[in-house]
Each structure stands twice: as structure tokens, then as C-alpha cells.
A and B are shown apart, each in its own frame.
Chain A
Amino acid sequence: MKQFAALVSILGTSTKTNDKLEALSNYFSTANDADKVWVIALFSGRRPKRVVNASLLQQWCIELTQLPVWLFEESYHTVGDLAETIALLLPQTTGNDGNDAQPLHTYLTQLVKLEKETETVKKEYIVTCWMQMTKDERFVFNKLLTGGFRVGVSQKTIVNALAQAVQLPAAVIAHRISGNWDPSTTAFQSLLSEEHASLDSSKPYPFYLAYPLEANPQTLGEPAEWQAEWKWDGIRGQLIKRNNELFVWSRGEELMTDKFPEYNDLNTLLPDGTVLDGEIIPGIDGQPLPFALLQTRIGRKNVTRKQLQEAPINFFAYDLLEYNHEDWRPKSLTERRQQLEQVVNGAQHPALLLSTIVPFDTWEQLAATRRQARDHFAEGLMLKRKSSSYQVGRKVGDWWKWKIDPFTIDAVMIYAQKGHGRRSNLYTDYTFAVRDGDKLVSFTKAYSGLTDKEFNEVDAFVKRHAIEKFGPVRTVKPELVFEIAFEGIVASNRHKSGVALRFPRISRWRKDKKPDEINTLDDLKQMLRLYGTAGGEQT
């Protein structure tokens, strides 16, 4: 556990990718195999089921420290991380030097066992562990308990570190650690073996990801060498048919087959040994519906008949990764596309559609088409080099996403809350309002888009002008004006303003504007009429 705590500490604080890589690679070369498997699992989002909820952990910590609840909460708002707050508040121990005899995997095995135990048993185990641990160990232990192991290290870095440690190409590693495997029953050697990979018929391929196109598309060269498609606003997914079974994976490596019964028939309609890359997206007759509808589907365990009618899900296929049990990724996009069209047309299923190719002869022409993306319910264009193979992860060169400019609106900040992680003890989470006559109506929150320096400035403003002293939220004088950018707008009866925004963020601080110069609720409603869709969140 000490070794793992040290690793997390380096990954969490180091600012250099090389240092992280070295620490990971060093870990993968020295740690015991069972621990390594768990680390791969944890860092790729495969954490054990949560055995206790956050409020129980908080309660036990309060009992142990005898602190008033409000003081625990003040501490939590300041630290911005529950696992860390508890680690800091528990009485200090010197840490048992011999406790590295308890490696990471034993704790995780215990936690898996605890799932079925009573609360009393869970409490006893967790409290005992706490009292034997140092602050850093408690922190990672609490992270295991609360889940969400985001440690500031990308999947790519983990893959590269593993590749270094076991001397295999990164692309191979990326493929082998993907998909469906259980860290408590998988051995390190077999996880990385070729045999194991071929035994798992659900195993997806690592997704090929595009970089945003910042430069003029002219820099890409001849238009004839490129294929353009709409960039859809859904969930990237892989549809896999192998051994007469159908699997649906999201880009977040979540197996989502059961969530989309619409695809069930494809199991008989697709040829065996087929893997499609495409967009999981709500739609009717090939016409996409807003993303908000998809959200109503993925949150549910069981899909109701009503949902199936209101938010039917399509699959817009744009690539073919495996055909006839053969890995087609090395082939050219043109070749893959041809075969893809045959596969999709051959299946003849209303939920499986081809993501259409957007024709163009010149970049100017394509730029004009891109401006109409919203009319096609797309968020821009994808540009793919026709000769390109299907690569692993985010790579510069052959695939680009060329998004349309976001909507913007000027708003005033009315509430602020302290942030999390590296924004601990800093007011960085804001609520914004537009004007409605002489009133202000809140319509969105936004957390990102300012520089560290700007956040510091706003933070100082909040601290000077806050009305409340306790609790997480500060009401501030409506004085600071910001331009809010967002990707979409839908009607919502859950929000006072009647609208919900998609991916809102701060695009800039309008120091040149006064609060009486901001946009109005009518402006928002106008946008909703023009670009919005009703019924978004009305379930």
C-alpha cells in the first residue's frame, strides 16, 4: 500500500509527463503482479463496487474526531475532496512500518468481500485500517472506497509505461487491457497475453481519436485526399458481433449492451466477426435527436417501453474495424468504408445507419457546409484522410474534428462555490444569470474557461463580497460579467430559466461590460426557438 500511495502522490503532483511515465514504469517493473493488475484496472476506470457511501465515511470520521458536523463540512469545502479531508482530519498515527506487508490487492480483495457484509462489519474494518495508516495511505484507501480514481494520468501514459515495463508495443497493450476483465480473477501475465485477448470475444479495439483542427483546412492539402463526415453529438461506441453474441462498448470502456435493446436484432443480421465504430445517438428515421434524450436513457438500469418510443437509439456507423474475424485497422479508410457500406446495407436494420459522407470539392465549399452543421443536428465536421489506417488513441495527422463555433451569451455571476482538486480553497464554480426585466434569472453553472490568474482575481472578489460565512455557496454582488459559450440549448422545466445548456463554459471575462449590459432571458428564449428542441428533459 505504501508503494501505491507513493505512486499516487507522484502522479498527483508531478507536472511532467516524463516523471509520471517513469514512476509508473518503475511501479510496473517492481510491484507484485496482483497489485499491478489492480492498478491497471483502477486507472482505467474499473473500480470495485462501492461498499459504503460517502456520508457513512463522513459520519465515522466525525465520531472518531469528535468534531462538530459543520466544522467537518467547512473543512471539506476548503479541501474539495472527501477522501483527503478524512485523511487530514483523523488523528495522526506514526504509521505501522511493517504494514507494507499488506499490499494493495489485499485491501481490494477485502473490499470486494465486504460488499455483502453488514454496516457494522464494514465500519470495523475501515476504522481499523484508518488507524493503522499514514496520511498518504489513508488518502488512497479512501479513494478506493469512494471510487473515482482520477489521478492526473492519461490512459496513454499508463499504456506507454506498461509497454516500457513489459517490452511490448503500446498499441498491443492498449488493445489487451481494454474490454471486459475482472481484476480480482485476472493474472497479470494472462491479462497481457495474446491468448487471453483472443479468448475474450467482447474485447473492443482502442478508439482512434481526433484532434481539434485549429489551423486553416487549406493546410491539410488536397481536398480529394480527404473524407468529410458530420460530427455527431452522441456517444462514441463500438458494436461487436462475435461468436454469435452482440456487445456494445462506449468510448469510456463501459459495456452498454443492455441499455440499447434496439440493437438486439443486429446479432442475427450482422455477419459474425464484425466490429463497427460509430455514434450511439437518439434518432428517428435517420434524423438525430438532442443529446439530452440520450441522457435519459443511459442513466437507467431498465429501459421502459415509453423511453424506447420517446428516445429511440440509432447507431450511425462510420468505420469498420473487424470483418470476417480479421483485423481491418491497417487497411485504408476508403477500403474500410466500402466494406462498411456493404455490411450496413446488408443488415437492413432501422437502427443501424451509415454516417453519411459530406461531399465537397474545395475547402471554401466545405467551410460553407460546416456553417450549416446545426441544421443537420451535428456539432461540426470530421475530416479523415482517405488513405489512413485506423490508429490507436489520439494522434495528430490523419483525423481532425472541425467543430462549429459555440453559441455565446453575456451573463453576470451571482453565486460562487469552492472548487475541487487543484482548485481547492478557491472559488471557481460559478452560477450565472441573465436579466429578465429588473430581475436576474440564473440559467447555468460553469466551471472552466478562465486562466489561473483570472480565477485568483474572481476568488478575491468573492471573498471580499460574499454575504454568507458558512456552507458551500456564496452569494455575490452581481457585478462581474462573463461571456458563456455553449454547444446546444433545450427546453427544461427543471430550471427556473426554462432552458438547459449543453457543455457551458466561460469563454471570456467581459471586463469591458457592466451588469446592465448583459443578455436577457428573452435572448435565451429566442435561441431556444431557433436552435433548441422541446421535450429535452421533460421526463
Chain B
Amino acid sequence: MLIEFTDKGLYCSAGNFYIDPWKPVDKAVITHAHSDHARWGHKAYLSHYLTVPLLQARLGPQQYQGIGWNEPVYMNGVKVSLHPAGHIIGSSQVRVEYQGEVWVVSGDYKTENDGISGAFEPVPCNTFITESTFGLPIYTWQPQPVIFEQVREWVQRNGKARQNSVFIAYSLGKAQRLLKALEPLQQPVYVHGAVWNMHQALVSAGIDLPPVQRITPETPKETFQSAIIIAPPSADGSPWMKKFTPYEVGVCSGWMQVRGNMRRRNADAAFALSDHADWPGLLSAVKATGAQQVYVTHGFQSAFSRYLNEQGIWSAEVKTEYGGEEETEENTVTEDNTTGGAA
């Protein structure tokens, strides 16, 4: 096997490197900057160059190497290249080629082009290792423009009722997408410290994002009049929100596709806006690789893998430590780490 499943993570012995390992290793290739994939403690990190500033912001100074998409590097004669995964800014699939055999590790990905994360590129391979966060057919997303329209309508409705709109969104990924959705409203957007940190890291790396205003303890309450606020899940329901009264809460997450989840979150509004591929997306991605064998990781791996086998594509499920089986929230782990005192 070109890539093995070890207790430290996905391991390429020919090249002597790991991909998104969950225990400290010497050489780690990182698909993207969410903390369940990019962990602390490796000796050397290789990732897309747009991921590097995010890793720096989260993990501090480490030995980082940034490369572009489709710019192969060689490790012990193994050819390694990164390809856009469309999940968040800098997110990449990892293509590994050795002695004519090609494996691709998807990391997290989405097939719809969100306009900021890079368009997902199907990479032909023999073996594809895919995520399956939303690997059930009930998860079929509406197109981004439709959801963006709903987001804007909600803000305007709240504004008319003289209420603030508080979005609950992951500080890396969803928050930036929301900024794009909200841009046409031409209103200032106020953000939580965790969102601010990620925003700063991205802007300094040269990413073009709409401006945001950081909320600090000194920001007067009067600032928030029919205002837009973006906060990470950790802030939801915390005293930090008091300042925005009266407000409505809108949660942005793929899990909001199902009403029960929506009700559990006690949100006033919910938008099934996800940074992961939906069911048709996963299927089309798998087919586009032309892979003869597919390993399915974190998510509904049992169901997705069984379905692929029934469709005539050899598949097996693999237990990883990304998220955990059926994580109930996307990347919950990320937020705790990025918040880091930046409340």
C-alpha cells in the first residue's frame, strides 16, 4: 500500500511522510488549516502556501513549507503535489505518485465552487481516500446563490424589525463565505475575535476579503443597530452575545439541512451552508477520479462505502481521528483552538 493507515495517521512509507497525522511526526503534509487536520507538534509542515499563514496564526512559529497547486515536490523519490479541494482557503487534496501508482487523499472538500476557496479539481488516480461528513442522500445542498439570497433576506427582515443579525459560523471558512454573501448589502460587518484573527491572517496573506470591524469589550452597545455580527459556535449562548440585544441568531452549517438539528440548536434561522461536499458531490468526485479503489474516512463512512461497493466501486471504510464518526458539528475542534483568548 502506497499509503497506510497507522495509529498516527495516513502514512506513506516510501516517502517517509504523514498526511494530516493526529500524533506528532517528523514530516507532515497538511491538507488544510482546520485543527482536526493540522495538529500541533510536528517537526516539519508542508502545505499550500495560503495555508501557511493560517497555520502560523494557530500553531505559532514552526518549520513550514508552502507550495502552490500542481507544483510537485519529491520526497525520497515519491512525487507529491497539492490540488484544490474547494473546502476553505488553501485547502488541498494530496496526490502521491510512486512507481506509476497514484493515490489521492481528499482531506475535506466541496465540489461547488464558492468563489474564494479555489475550484475543486478531480485528480485521476488508482486509489482515492475520501471524506464522507455528509455521506447520506438526505444531504443535497441548494446552490450557493440561493442560500446567499436567503441570508441577505434574513438580515434585511431583522433590520426592518430593528434587530441585530448574529451569524454563528466557523471562523475559518464559513465566516469568509458569509462576508461574500453579505457584501452586496454594503453594511459594516462586526466580528468576534476568533473571526478577526483568521481574517487578519488571510488579508495579510494577500487574500481579498471585504473589511470587518472587530468587536472588543470597549465597543459601545449603541454600535449595534440592525447590525450584522459574525461569531463562532463557542460564542453562541454566551454572555458575550448580550451586547447585541435585541438580536436574532442564524446558524450556518450543513447539519441545518435537517429540522431536528435546527431545533436542537435553538436558532432563530438556519442556513444549510456547508464547506463539505453533499451526497451528489461525493459521488461525482469519486467517479471523476476514475479510482479502482476508494477508502472512506470520517463521516457516514459505513453507508457511503457500502453504497460504492454496490455501485461496483471497490471500497472500504477507514477509521481516522478527524472529527469522529458522525461529528455533530462541523469542525467543532477548530473553534476552541482558534478562539484562544481572543474573545
Given A13-B267, A14-B268; A81-B260 close (CB under 8 Å) = yes
A384 within 8 A of partner (CB): no
Pair B259/A13 contact, Cβ less than 8 Å = yes
* Nearest-Cβ distance from residue B258 to partner chain A, whole angstroms: 5
A421 within 8 A of partner (CB): yes
Pair A74/B258 contact, Cβ less than 8 Å = no
Residues of A within 8 A of B258 (CB): 78-79, 84, 88, 424-425
Pair B257/A88 contact, Cβ less than 8 Å = yes
Residues of A within 8 A of B270 (CB): 13
Pair A459/B328 contact, Cβ less than 8 Å = yes
Residues of A within 8 A of B269 (CB): 13
Question: Which residues of chain A from 114 to 137 have any CB-CB distance to chain B below 8 Å in the complex?
Answer: none
Pair A424/B259 contact, Cβ less than 8 Å = yes
B1 within 8 A of partner (CB): no
Residues of A within 8 A of B310 (CB): 68
Interface contacts (Cβ under 8 Å), in number, total: 88
Contact with A along B48-90 (1 / 0, CB 8 A): 0000000000000000000000000000000000000000000
A508 within 8 A of partner (CB): no
Pair A89/B137 contact, Cβ less than 8 Å = yes
Q: Chain B: which residue is nearest A460 at the CB level?
A: B324
Pair B260/A425 contact, Cβ less than 8 Å = yes
Pair A74/B303 contact, Cβ less than 8 Å = yes
A304 within 8 A of partner (CB): no
Question: Which residues of chain B from 124 to 154 have any CB-CB distance to chain A below 8 Å in the complex?
Answer: 136-138, 140, 142
Pair A88/B325 contact, Cβ less than 8 Å = no
Tell me, in angstroms, the Cα distance from A70 to B307 when the chains sit together.
10
B213 within 8 A of partner (CB): no
Residues of B within 8 A of A81 (CB): 259-260
Given A68-B307, A71-B303, A463-B324; A80-B260 close (CB under 8 Å) = yes
Pair B326/A422 contact, Cβ less than 8 Å = no
A391 within 8 A of partner (CB): no
Tell me, in angstroms, the Cα distance from A65 to B140 when the chains sit together.
13
Query: Count of chain A residues with Cβ under 8 Å from any Cβ of B?
Result: 39
A75 within 8 A of partner (CB): yes
Given A74-B303, A463-B324, A463-B326; A79-B260 close (CB under 8 Å) = yes
Tell me, in angstroms, the Cα distance from A420 to B140 when the chains sit together.
21
Residue among B137, B140, B255, B270 with most chain A CB within 10 A: B137
Question: Which residues of chain A from 66 to 99 have any CB-CB distance to chain B below 8 Å in the complex?
Answer: 67-68, 70-71, 74-75, 78-81, 84-85, 88-89, 92
B262 within 8 A of partner (CB): yes
A219 within 8 A of partner (CB): no
Residues of A within 8 A of B160 (CB): none
Tell me, in angstroms, the Cα distance from A531 to B260 when the chains sit together.
39
Residues of A within 8 A of B136 (CB): 71, 74-75, 78
Pair B138/A79 contact, Cβ less than 8 Å = yes
Pair A12/B137 contact, Cβ less than 8 Å = no
* Nearest-Cβ distance from residue B263 to partner chain A, whole angstroms: 4
* Nearest-Cβ distance from residue B134 to partner chain A, whole angstroms: 11
B261 within 8 A of partner (CB): yes
Residues of B within 8 A of A139 (CB): 259
* Nearest-Cβ distance from residue B297 to partner chain A, whole angstroms: 15
Residues of B within 8 A of A13 (CB): 259, 262-263, 267-270
Pair A78/B263 contact, Cβ less than 8 Å = no
Residues of B within 8 A of A469 (CB): 302
* Nearest-Cβ distance from residue B32 to partner chain A, whole angstroms: 24
* Nearest-Cβ distance from residue B193 to partner chain A, whole angstroms: 25
A423 within 8 A of partner (CB): yes
B242 within 8 A of partner (CB): no
Tell me, in angstroms, the Cα distance from A425 to B255 when the chains sit together.
10
Interface size band for B: 20 to 34
Contact with B along A416-457 (1 / 0, CB 8 A): 000111111110000000000000000000000000100010
Contact with A along B251-283 (1 / 0, CB 8 A): 000010111111110111110000000000000
Q: Chain B: which residue is nearest A86 at the CB level?
A: B138
Pair A422/B140 contact, Cβ less than 8 Å = no
Residues of B within 8 A of A425 (CB): 255, 258, 260-261, 326, 328
* Nearest-Cβ distance from residue A61 to partner chain B, whole angstroms: 11
* Nearest-Cβ distance from residue B254 to partner chain A, whole angstroms: 12
* Nearest-Cβ distance from residue A437 to partner chain B, whole angstroms: 34
* Nearest-Cβ distance from residue A389 to partner chain B, whole angstroms: 37
Residue among B142, B258, B259 with most chain A CB within 10 A: B259
Tell me, in angstroms, the Cα distance from A139 to B263 when the chains sit together.
16
Residues of B within 8 A of A67 (CB): 137
Residues of A within 8 A of B266 (CB): 15
Residues of A within 8 A of B259 (CB): 12-13, 81, 84, 139, 424
* Nearest-Cβ distance from residue A25 to partner chain B, whole angstroms: 16
Q: Chain B: which residue is nearest A91 at the CB level?
A: B140
Pair B138/A89 contact, Cβ less than 8 Å = yes
Tell me, in angstroms, the Cα distance from A129 to B261 when the chains sit together.
27
Question: Which residues of chain A from 1 to 58 have any CB-CB distance to chain B below 8 Å in the complex?
Answer: 12-15, 19
Given A68-B310, A84-B258, A459-B328; A75-B138 close (CB under 8 Å) = yes
Pair A88/B140 contact, Cβ less than 8 Å = yes
A407 within 8 A of partner (CB): no
Question: Which residues of chain B from 305 to 332 have any CB-CB distance to chain A below 8 Å in the complex?
Answer: 306-307, 310, 324-326, 328
* Nearest-Cβ distance from residue B298 to partner chain A, whole angstroms: 12
* Nearest-Cβ distance from residue A141 to partner chain B, whole angstroms: 15
Q: CB within 8 Å of B: which residues of A?
A: 12-15, 19, 65, 67-68, 70-71, 74-75, 78-81, 84-85, 88-89, 92, 139, 152, 419-426, 452, 456, 459-460, 463-464, 469-470
List of 8 A-B pairs having minimum Cβ-Cβ separation, nearest first: A424-B260, A422-B263, A88-B138, A469-B302, A422-B264, A75-B138, A15-B266, A422-B260
25 contacts between A and B (CB under 8 A): A12-B259, A13-B268, A15-B266, A19-B268, A65-B137, A71-B137, A74-B300, A78-B136, A78-B300, A79-B138, A88-B137, A89-B138, A92-B140, A92-B142, A420-B260, A421-B263, A422-B263, A422-B264, A423-B260, A424-B258, A424-B261, A425-B255, A425-B258, A460-B324, A463-B325
Since A78-B300, A422-B261, A426-B328 are in contact, a sample of 9 more A-B pairs with Cβ atoms closer than 8 Å, ordered by chain A residue number, is A13-B267, A68-B307, A75-B137, A78-B258, A81-B259, A89-B137, A139-B259, A421-B260, A421-B263
